[in-house]
Structure 1
Amino acid sequence: MSPIHYLSEDDLISLLKKRDQRAFNYLYDNYSGALYGVVIRIVLHKNYADEVIQDIFVKVWNHVELFNHEKGRLYTWMINIARNTSIDYIKSKRVQNEQKNQSLPDIVNSAETHLYADMNQMERVDFIGMNNVLGKLKPDLQRLVQMAYYEGYTQQEIADNLQIPLGTVKTRIRAALLQLRGILNEQ
């Protein structure tokens, strides 16, 4: 079988649903780099990122029939899978235990080469200068952005946690993102 060099999104999805291996290879070749960028920002370690990328493509392959083109593009669907899989991975007990059980030389190397990875979430935000930007939002909007984008909560989990309606959470997060866009465009 010869490799596929170009597929439209519709053709790609159709072939994936038929379990065409060439379509899967095309998907991996054309999307793995972009997804890797999303994953590495969350898991912060190459070995973990490689494992998560593999999990993402297995999920896409096994669940491609769940993709709904009316809800968005294939890439957007895969980005959501990548984000959720990455967050689930770093929350997993295995990863947390691995980080606790590192040998002393690994910890020393990690401290030197992974300063950013060792920071807590808010330190990371401040490290890239986002605290100043987030500080321009109202405190309730800051909290929603922090929960959604830095702590990995879903909108439903935020609504349940803060005991506010899901629609209110969605509206406020959208408003916060629009304000952040305006703030960043001014800088």
Structure 2
Amino acid sequence: MEQPNNLIIAMQNGDEKAFSNLYTMYSEAVYGIIYSIVLDENTAEELLQDVFVKVWNNATSYSVKKGRFFTWLLNIARNAAIDETRSKAFKNRRKNLNITNFVDILTSSDSLNRATNAIGLKKFVEALKPACIKIIDLLYFKGFTQAEASKTLDLPIGTIKTRNRTCINELREMVLG
């Protein structure tokens, strides 16, 4: 299989096969992030498709100078999932769930474990300090905003921002080491 950078350039030039290869490479990880936020398979599958349509339509807006492709892709996915959870339709669907769905939600509420397993980060995230694990779980795997995480953890938003930056840098060092 080609290197991701070559595939990205080819995709940006309209190569559908390169796009298909990128989808194959990244779709499972992207699905894991989306699912960990929306906790619904059908919604996650729809959003996965929407995310990759966005990637195709906005391929030229990605620049290697702005960061890694995977990070760009995950941000698109995370934002799409968060937007979906804030939509009126999503909230209405949640209100109308039957009792068996609540059992599923409760048994699958461990977003951090499932999402980190899906993208192979579990061992790295678990090696972080407990404070980092909490912040990363809330912000990246449960879809909280920094303000929501601040209220949940009863910490000033500036502290959340600083710890998030520090924790992500620690995680980056471990992964890229």
- TM bin, normalised by shorter chain, reads 0.5 to 0.7
- What pairs up with 1:148-163 in 2 under 5 angstroms? 148-149=139-140, 150-153=142-145
The reply on whether 1:57 has 2:48 as its aligned counterpart is no
The DSSP-based 3-state class of the residue aligned with 1:7 is coil
Partner SS, residue 70 of structure 1: helix
RMSD: 3.7
Aligned to 1:184: none
Quote the offset at 1:78 in angstroms: 0.7
Please list every run of 5 or more consecutive structure 2 residues that lacks an aligned counterpart in the other structure.
Answer: 115-128, 151-155, 173-177
Higher-Rg structure is 1
Identity %: 35
Kindly provide the amino acid, as one letter, of the partner of residue 51 in structure 1: E
Q: How many residues align?
A: 153
Alpha-carbon distance in structure 2 between the residues aligned to 1:147 and 1:38? 12
Q: Is residue 87 of structure 2 the alignment partner of residue 96 of structure 1?
A: no
1:89 is displaced (CA, Å) by 1.1
Query: Which residue of 2 is the match for residue 175 of structure 1?
Result: 166
Partner of 1:111: 102
SS at match of 1:36: helix
Relative contact order, higher structure (CA 8 A, sep 6+): 2
Tell me by how many angstroms 1:170 deviates.
Answer: 4.1
TM-score by length of 1: 0.63
1-side partners of 2:105 and 2:139: how far apart? 24
What TM-score do you get using the length of structure 2 for normalisation? 0.67
Q: 1:98 to 1:148 in 2, by over 3 A?
A: same
Q: In the alignment, what sits opposite 2:118?
A: none
Return closer, same or farther for 1:54/1:171 CA change in 2, 3 Å cut-off: same
Extract unaligned runs of 5+ from structure 1.
1-5, 129-134, 182-187
SS at match of 2:65: coil
- 1:160-181 CA distances to partner (integer Å, 9 max, x unpaired)? xx686xxx76434223567899
Alignment pair present for 1:73 and 2:64: no
